[in-house]
Amino acid sequence: MTPENLIALAKEAMAHAYVPYSGYRVGAALLCADGTVYQGCNIENAAYSPTNCAERTAFFKAVFDGHRDFAAIAVCGGKDGVITGPFPPCGVCRQVMMEFCGPDFAVYMADTGGRWIETTLKDLLPFGFSAGDMR
């Protein structure tokens, strides 16, 4: 699975977004260590705070199915589904990545024109809190 292919699946997932309040469509594609890919979209709510981000939708689908090892995630988003720049995952989603992924977990943030920024969980969430800190 190349970054390009994972990004293509994230873009496809944007079509599934439920965004009656923001109109901001987000798609994610999560690559498991065994090669399985889970897509996710954002799912909004009239009470706002129950909204689930695309990344967490993908993680929770995968975890439900028994996956615990993850290699990479591609994310993209844009108003009315039009990508205008690289899409950085929110802090809550970074913390969910922290729960299940190692420091070198790859994050591809799709930009316009087929470009993307590649980073890692340790760069997105330096000094992040995890189960190992509860001692």
Q: Which residues contact 40 (CB under 8 A, 6 or more apart)?
A: 13, 27, 28, 29, 30, 53, 54, 55, 56, 57, 58, 59, 60, 61
Contact call for residue 37 and ligand THU (CB under 6 A)? no
Give the residues across from 38 on adjacent strands.
30
- Closer to ligand THU at the Cβ: 30 or 55? 55
User: Contact region for ligand THU (CB under 6 A) — 5-13, 65-73, 86-94, 127-135?
Assistant: 86-94
Residue 55 is among the residues annotated as catalytic for this protein = yes
Cβ-contact 57, 28 below 8 angstroms: yes
Q: Which of 19, 83, 97, 125 binds ligand THU (CB under 6 A)?
A: 19
- Closer to ligand THU at the Cβ: 121 or 135? 121
Contact call for residue 39 and ligand THU (CB under 6 A)? no
Q: Which of 44, 70, 108, 125 binds ligand THU (CB under 6 A)?
A: 44
Residues of this chain that bind ligand THU (CB under 6 A):
19, 22, 24, 26, 42, 44, 51, 53-55, 89-90, 93
